[in-house]
Structure 1
Amino acid sequence: MSDVFTTRILRVTTGSDETVSDLTRDIQLFLDEAAHGRNGLLNVFVPHATAGIAVIETGAGSDDDLLATLHTLLPADDRWQHRHGSRGHGRDHVLPALVPPHATLPVVGGRLELGTWQSVCLVDTNKDNPDRQVRLSFLG
Structure 2
Amino acid sequence: MSHAFMTRVLSVTTGAEERVADLTHDCAAFLRETAQGRDGLLNIFVPHATAGVAVIETGAGSDDDLLAALRTLLPADDRWHHRHGTPGHGRDHVLPALVPPHATLPVIKGRLELGTWQSVCLVDTNVDNADRQVRLSFLG
TM-score interval for Structure 1 and Structure 2 normalised by the shorter chain: over 0.9
Name the amino acid aligned to 2:124.
D
Instruction: Quote the Cα distance in structure 2 between the aligned partners of 1:5 and 1:34.
Output: 9
* 2:71 paired with 1:59: no
Listed as ranges, the gaps of 5+ residues in structure 1 are: none
Instruction: Quote the Cα distance in structure 1 between the aligned partners of 2:102 and 2:44.
Output: 5
Q: SS state of the match for residue 115, structure 1?
A: coil
Name the amino acid aligned to 1:46.
V
* 2:37 paired with 1:41: no
Instruction: Quote the Cα distance in structure 1 between the aligned partners of 2:92 and 2:98.
Output: 11
Equivalent pairs: percent with the same residue?
80
Instruction: Quote the Cα distance in structure 2 between the aligned partners of 1:131 and 1:57.
Output: 24
Instruction: Quote the Cα distance in structure 1 between the aligned partners of 2:102 and 2:56.
Output: 14
Instruction: Quote the Cα distance in structure 1 between the aligned partners of 2:73 and 2:36.
Output: 42
Instruction: Quote the Cα distance in structure 2 between the aligned partners of 1:113 and 1:47.
Output: 24
Partner in structure 1 of residue 132 of structure 2: 132
Partner in structure 2 of residue 86 of structure 1: 86
Partner in structure 2 of residue 120 of structure 1: 120
- Give 1:104 shift: 0.2
Give the root-mean-square deviation of aligned CA atoms.
0.9
Instruction: Quote the Cα distance in structure 1 between the aligned partners of 2:101 and 2:76.
Output: 20
Equivalences, count: 139
Listed as ranges, the gaps of 5+ residues in structure 2 are: none
Instruction: Quote the Cα distance in structure 1 between the aligned partners of 2:3 and 2:46.
Output: 25
Partner in structure 2 of residue 103 of structure 1: 103
Partner in structure 1 of residue 9 of structure 2: 9
TM superposition outliers: structure 1 runs of 4+ over 3 Å = none
Q: SS state of the match for residue 129, structure 1?
A: coil
TM-score normalised according to structure 2 size? 0.98
- Give 1:20 shift: 0.1
TM-score normalised according to structure 1 size? 0.98
Summarize deviations over 1:100-139 as a string: whole Å, max 9, x none: 0000000000000000000000000000000000000000
- Give 1:3 shift: 5.7
Summarize deviations over 1:76-114 as a string: whole Å, max 9, x none: 000000010000000000000000000000000000000
Instruction: Quote the Cα distance in structure 1 between the aligned partners of 2:37 and 2:63.
Output: 30
